[in-house]
Amino acid sequence: MSKINPQDIPHKMLSLDPFSQWLGIEIVEVKKGYCKLGLRIRSEMLNSMQKAHGGIAYALADTAFGFAANTHGRFAVSIETSINHIEALHEDDYVIAETQLDIAKNKLGFAYVNLSVGDKIVAVFKGVVYRTSKEWL
């Protein structure tokens, strides 16, 4: 069993993760099997249409997904993920990612993640992790 508390794992992960730091990802709430993150869209995150690049919404969702999957104590790596981009994101939008489901089996884990701005869902995400045998300490 891992000696670290489940809710401390995402904080440790974020402290070690240069890209999530570049994105400015903030941890809103975490508990075992659950993660809620926030991110403010900045001008350097835009694409040629002056909307947030699809990679930004994806990266936020994938981070919430990965953080939640790792709260179970073992290193879990994202192997399959899909995202539906429903609403365009603009500079200064504050985007929330929240895991909606958490199923942890021996080798695999599954989750949904919703992205929202205010009351509006802007993207939906579904993913599968592979759970390695390595533990967070």
Segment 46-51 long-range contacts (CB within 8 Å, at least 24 positions apart): 46/91, 49/88, 50/90, 50/91, 51/88, 51/89, 51/90
Among 3, 44, 92, 137, binds a second copy (CB under 8 A): 44
Write down the least CB distance from residue 9 to a second copy, Å.
Answer: 9
Residue 4 binds a second copy (CB under 8 A): no
Residue 95 binds a second copy (CB under 8 A): no
Among 32, 54, 93, 116, binds a second copy (CB under 8 A): 54
Each residue of 20-53: b (16+ CB within 10 Å) or e? beebebebeebeebbbbbbbebeeebbeeeebbb
Helix (H) or strand (E) holding 132: strand 120-135
* CB closer to a second copy out of 2 and 114: 114
Among 34, 35, 37, 62, binds a second copy (CB under 8 A): 62
Residues of the shown chain interacting with a second copy in the complex, contacts defined by CB under 8 A:
12-20, 22-23, 43-49, 52-56, 58-60, 62-63, 66, 75, 77-86, 88, 100-101, 103, 105, 107-108, 110, 112, 114, 121, 124, 126, 128, 130
